[in-house]
Amino acid sequence: MSGGGLLDPDGATAYLASWKNRIDKMAADTQAMSDRLGELRVTAEDDNGLAEVTIDASGVLVDVRFTDRIQRVAPDVVSRAVLGALRAARLTAAERSRRIITETMGPDSVAARTITERIEKQLLGPDAEQPDE
């Protein structure tokens, strides 16, 4: 039996080289995705322009700023403004993360879909609806 089958030494060598190339590409794509997500910062403000928040890719609050207008509203209004800005930032972060993952790992990647789902659950909560693709 000839023709480069898996039991043929040349065929096995070619198969292993191809497999290694796919693994190397996946590792490089995963590192590129990780680097881009690590740099991601999203800033959003509430609808009334009272508060502005900045989060990282995992949804951690890294900055919050208030406008002078907060002095004219009740503390609970300021609290709602911060939470509204945080929701908006997390939604944007989920969208940008999805785009980064798809661009680096490909739209057909099972790993990309799994990572995207985990990030969206982290940012938006376990009950978040998945966007239609």
CATH number at residue 50: 3.30.1310
Model pLDDT, residue 15: 86
Tens place of pLDDT per residue across the chain (133 aa): 445 566 778 888 888 888 899 899 889 999 999 999 999 999 999 999 999 999 999 999 999 999 999 999 999 999 999 999 999 999 999 999 999 999 999 999 998 999 999 999 999 987 665 554 4
pTM of the predicted structure, to 2 decimals: 0.79
Residue 133 in domain: no
Task: List C-alpha distances in Å: 89 to 32, 33, 47, 104, 114.
Answer: 23, 20, 12, 22, 22
In a domain, 130, yes or no: no
Classify residue 18: in a domain, yes or no: no
- pLDDT confidence of residue 95: 97
Look at residues 86, 80, 94 and name the one whose alpha carbon lies nearest to residue 45: 86
113 C-beta neighbours (distance < 10 Å), count: 17
User: Is position 78 within any domain?
Assistant: yes
Q: Which domain holds residue 54?
A: 41-124
Assigned domain for 28 exists: no
**Residue at 61 is within a domain:** yes
Q: What is the pLDDT of residue 9?
A: 81
The pLDDT of residue 6: 61
In this predicted structure, what is the pLDDT of residue 11?
82
Counted residue by residue, the chain has a size of 133
Q: How many domains are contained in the chain?
A: 1
User: Residue 111: inside a domain, yes or no?
Assistant: yes
Within a domain: 22: no
